[in-house]
Homo-oligomer: A and B are copies of this chain.
C-alpha cells in the first residue's frame, strides 16, 4: 500500500468518525433530546458539519486525492474504487463556491420554515415562492455540477449514482402503462376486509412483538437497538451499532409492525457491511435505491407474503387472540395486502405507492427542465392524483404539502423509493432461483438462508460496485421492471 493511499485512508477514517458522531446527535434529537435542547443542538450540528466539510475540501486533501486519482492505475481494484468515489465526491464538493453553499442553505432554511407554516395553515400559497427558489437553486446546482443530456441527471446522481432520465422515463412509462392499468382492474374487484387491523392492539404487546420479529429477521440487538420516534428511521454509527426507530399506534396494528420490518431491512444491510471497510467509501451503502430494496424486500416480498405468516401467524394469534378472533391465516394475509388509494404516500399500499412517486418524478423533471410552471404546481398535482389514483385531493396538507423532501432541497430523491421496490422484486426473484427451498424455509420460521444470500450478494459489497453493476452481478441483468410486475400479478391475482 502506497504511503499516500495510507494517508488517504487515515484521513477518511477520521472523517467517518466525525460523520458518525454527528449522526448520533441527529439520532438523539429525534429520540431522547429534551425540547429546549434544540437551539444549541442545532449549533453543534452546524459546527460539526463545517469541520467535516472542511476536512473533505481543504487544499491538502485535495492534492492528495488528485494525485491518487492521477496514479490510480497503480492501485488494486478495491483501492481504485475508493479513490474514484472520493475523487468524484471531492470534485462535486469543489464545484460549489462558498457563496453558493450559503445561498443554498439559506434557501433551504426559508423553504423549510415556509413549509412548516404552510402545513399549519393548510395553505399552499405560503410555500409556493420559497419552493420556486429551491427549484432555481437546484437548477443552478445541476449546472455547476455539470451533466450529460438532462439537468435532472446531475441531481439524481447525488442519491442514485448512474440513474438517468433515460432510465427513469422508461421505468415510469412502464408504471403508467402496466401498473396503473393493473390496479384499475383490481379496484373493480370485490374488496378484501382489513377491519381487524384497526381494533385495539395493546401498545406494549405490539412493541414486544416487533422486537421479536426483528430478532427473527436476524437483526443483531447486540449491534443495535430500537427506540420510539415520530417518524421511523434507521441510522448507523458503524456496522456494529445500527439503530432503528418505530412508533406504535394502538388503533392501527400495521402502523408499527411493517415499519419495524422495513427499518429492519435497512438495518440488516448496514449491519452486513464489513467492518474492515469502515472509513472508506466502499464501507457505505451503495445508493438509496439499493438501500430501499433491502427494506422493501423484507417489508413486502417477505413480510406481506404467505410463507412468512405461515411461520408467524400462530404466535401472533397467541399474543392477540381477541383482535384475531375468527381471522384465518388467509383472511389475515388478504387484509394486510388490501389495495386502496390514499392521498398520502407514506400511508399507501405497495402498488399505489408508485403512483405517488411517478407524480413526483414527472413534476420534478418538469421543474428542473423548466417545462412546468411552478405557479401551476398545485393544479398539476391535483389533476394527476385524479388521473392516476382516481382521488380528489381535498386540501393542501394531504396534497402537495405532505412531504418534507423538497423543502430540504431534496429533488431527485423520490424516484429512489420506487427503484427500491423494483430492485427488491428482481433480487427476491433471483434469491428464489438460487435457493429453491427458500420460501419453504421461511414458512418454517427460518430466515437465515435469505439473510445469508443478501449478505453474500449485496451487503458485503458495500459500495464496491455501482448499483447497475451490482444488479447485473446478482441477477445477470440491470434493473428490469418486469420482475416487479410478475410479482404483483402473481400476488394480487391470488388476493383479488
* Residues of chain A having any CB pair with chain B under 8 Å: 13-14, 17-18, 20-22, 24-25, 28, 32-37, 39-41, 43-44, 47-48, 50-51, 220-225, 227, 237-238, 240-241, 243, 275, 278
Contacts and interface: CB of A to CB of B under 8 A. Distances in A.
B225 A40 contact: no
A25 B19 CA distance: 12
Contact of A21 (B48, B221, B224): B48
Given A18-B51, A20-B44, A36 B222 contact: yes
Contact of A37 (B35, B39, B47, B240): B240
Given A34-B222, A34-B241, A40 B20 contact: yes
A36 B220 contact: yes
Contacts of A17: 40, 43-44, 47-48
Contact of A32 (B39, B48, B225, B238): B225
A244 to B, nearest CB: 12
A220 B37 CA distance: 11
Given A18-B48, A40-B241, 11 more contacts: A14-B50, A17-B40, A21-B21, A21-B25, A24-B28, A32-B227, A34-B240, A36-B220, A36-B223, A40-B237, A40-B238
A276 to B, nearest CB: 12
How would you classify the secondary structure of chain A's contact residues: helix, strand, loop or mixed?
A: helix
Nearest to A32: B225
Contacts of A41: 237-238, 241
15 contacts: A14-B50, A18-B44, A18-B51, A20-B40, A21-B48, A34-B222, A34-B240, A36-B220, A36-B240, A37-B223, A39-B238, A39-B240, A41-B237, A41-B241, A51-B51
A17 B241 CA distance: 24
Contacts of A47: 13-14, 17-18, 21
Nearest to A19: B44
A40 B278 contact: yes
A304 to B, nearest CB: 28
Nearest to A220: B36
Nearest to A227: B32
Contacts of A13: 43, 47
Contacts of A51: 14, 18, 51
B21 A241 contact: no
Nearest to A44: B17
A43 to B, nearest CB: 6
Nearest to A239: B40
B34 A225 contact: yes
Q: Residue among A32, A44, A225 with the most chain B CB within 10 A? A: A44
B34 A223 contact: yes
A13 B41 CA distance: 13
A135 to B, nearest CB: 33
